[in-house]
Amino acid sequence: MNAMMNEKVIRLSDADEVCDFVRAAGMCDFDIDISDQRMVIDAKSILGVMGLGIQKELTVKYGGEDISFENVLNKYAIA
């Protein structure tokens, strides 16, 4: 298990961005969690991510490396 956890704060503005994010997460062979202030969801679940809501600050935590996923995260990163 990789002890190093990466963390990034993102904002997804609409359903297309949610689909883009979940598709990228689904291609990764490591666990990815996304959370708001209340709950933590598997980032590979489109219904779960949609349930967190759009236009909110969401924290993504993951323990692996994938350049395509990083590129998608950077697209939606806040500051």
Please report, in tens digits, the pLDDT of each residue of the chain (79 residues total).
446 899 999 999 999 999 999 999 999 999 999 999 899 999 999 999 999 999 999 999 999 999 999 999 999 999 7
The torsion of the CA quartet 10, 24, 48, 17, rounded to 10 degrees, works out to: 60
Its pTM stands at 0.92
Can you give the pLDDT at residue 4? Answer: 83
CA distance readout (Å), 54 to 3, 13, 15: 30, 5, 8
Residue 3's pLDDT is 63
